[in-house]
Amino acid sequence: MDNISEKLNHYFGHRKFKSELQEQAVRAIARGVHDVYVSMPTGSGKSLCFQLPAMLQDNKVAIVFSPLLALIKDQIDHLTKLKISAESINSKMSSKDRERVLNDLRSMKPNTRFLYVTPEQAATGTFKSLIEHLVKYKKISYVVVDEAHCVSEWGHDFRPDYLKLGVLREQYKSIPWVALTATASAEVANDILSNLKLLQPVAKYKTPSFRKNLFYDVIYQNCIEDEIDHLLEFLKKCLGEDGNVKPKDKNAAIVYCRTRDQTEDIANMLTKKGLKSFAYHGGMKSSDRISVQEQWSRGEYACVCATISFGMGVDKASVRAVAHWGIAQNVAAYYQESGRAGRDGKPAFCRIYYCLRERNAVDFLLKTELGRAKTPEQKKRCQNAYKSFEIMVKYCEDVNRVFGRCRHKMFAEYFGEEAPACRGRCDACADERGVRRALQQHQRRAMT
Ligand code: ADP
Ligand code: MG
Ligand code: ZN
């Protein structure tokens, strides 16, 4: 066992790394040669990537930027439990406490291993002179930016104060920086690298988006006889047998709909046709919502027809099918929602039942929002949302021209990755001519 693995066990009590990627990121940060960018999904152990390497450098402190005091508190509590000295400087603390933290950091051999601050702090006089001091005496191991997508206007939680961090990075070029995020799109990644002014070449560690057990396709509603029958057959096929699960097999399906009415209509129709389904949406009583979700999670029925409010915190491994009724809001959302399928690694199916009426409805909503936007930031945000939606439309309507056919490749491009070896795991690769024909038929019918 080498020093790093030994420290992993000694300080954090973990016998091995959570993933190869986590180990690689830890080792790169420990080397401290390059700036490091880490993109891994929530829960994959990003904190450890910067917490472990800091334990290899005595009497140095890692500065960690984090967007919220609540997150900072969680992390400090966690480290304190592990008997690792972590502190914060913030507006909420007493001046006595602040003095205690500052005195330690200004001492010859600081005990503090992690100093957590919000980006707002970075602009204060106290913080600036502290950094000046720490840099002068070479007391900083590295600077960490957690939840780094906050620096991007493409991200959903853009925080203007994060932009100030870029200035700091340019000021002190000798210290390595580490940026971490769970948001994976290429746009956000580019913003992180450029707005934080990370020094090239940046070492990047990113979970690939390709999920090889998921099969993706698109069905055009105007090209099939009966949409509900078609959906029913699809769900039954994915769920196995007649779709009505027995307690022993817990196969499940989700049908995502845009509106509350749709969730109820489709659930009713599927149930009438023999596949017991329930609706789930934000307009329901919360006790009803909870019971629908719990029964589904326990496998008492297989199919839930839901708005996108369904899924947060749902952790069911055996989802065999995710169907979208109409279209998804954008590629990132579609990737996430459809990605709830096949968490157990077994084959699962992701399908969009595309229709123009739904596309136009979303188009209209996004344009209305844009029209109502007042500040330049709101406008920019709405414009970005619209652009993201347009890529989703292309995913459905423009497979051939825009994305060189493969749907997995289209995701990879969106996330700034190499095209994966799809090998027939999407309709366009499995049946290129069929897809082309369906698309042409759809377009012909759409014009009439
Ligand atoms: P993220 O920031 O990526 O969402 P966290 O850093 O909060 O994830 O970690 C998620 C969970 O994984 C935590 O409970 C953490 O203790 C645990 N974890 C991290 N690394 C390991 C590991 N090598 N072995 C086991 N558990 C780990
Ligand atoms: Mg985290
Ligand atoms: Zn493909």
pLDDT in tens, 255-278: 999 999 999 999 999 999 999 999
Q: Region 170-177: what's the mean pLDDT?
A: 95
Q: Which two tokens stand for residue 243?
A: 């779709």
pTM for the predicted model, two decimal places: 0.83
Residues, the chain: 448
What pLDDT digit, counting tens, does each position of 182-215 carry?
Answer: 988 888 999 999 999 999 999 999 999 999 999 9
pLDDT of residue 161: 93
Q: How far is the CA of 91 from the centre of ligand 1 (A)?
A: 29
pLDDT of residue 401: 61
Scanning 64-163, the segments in alpha helix (DSSP H) are 69-81, 95-106, 125-136
What DSSP character marks residue 259?
S
**Is residue 220 in contact with ligand 1, taking CB distance under 6 Å?**
no
Q: How far is the CA of 239 from the centre of ligand 3 (A)?
A: 23
Asked whether the predicted pLDDT for residue 380 surpasses 80, the reply is yes
Q: How far is the CA of 102 from the centre of ligand 2 (A)?
A: 26
Q: Region 399-418: what's the mean pLDDT?
A: 81
What pLDDT digit, counting tens, does each position of 122-157 carry?
Answer: 889 999 999 999 999 999 999 999 999 999 988 778
Q: Which two tokens stand for residue 185?
A: 């799109």
**Integer Cα distance of 65 and 116 in angstroms:** 6
pLDDT of residue 247: 45
pLDDT of residue 246: 55
Mean pLDDT of the chain: 93
Residues 6+ apart with CB under 8 A from 420: 208, 210, 212, 408, 409, 412
Judged by its nearest atom, the ligand closest to the C-alpha of residue 212 is 3
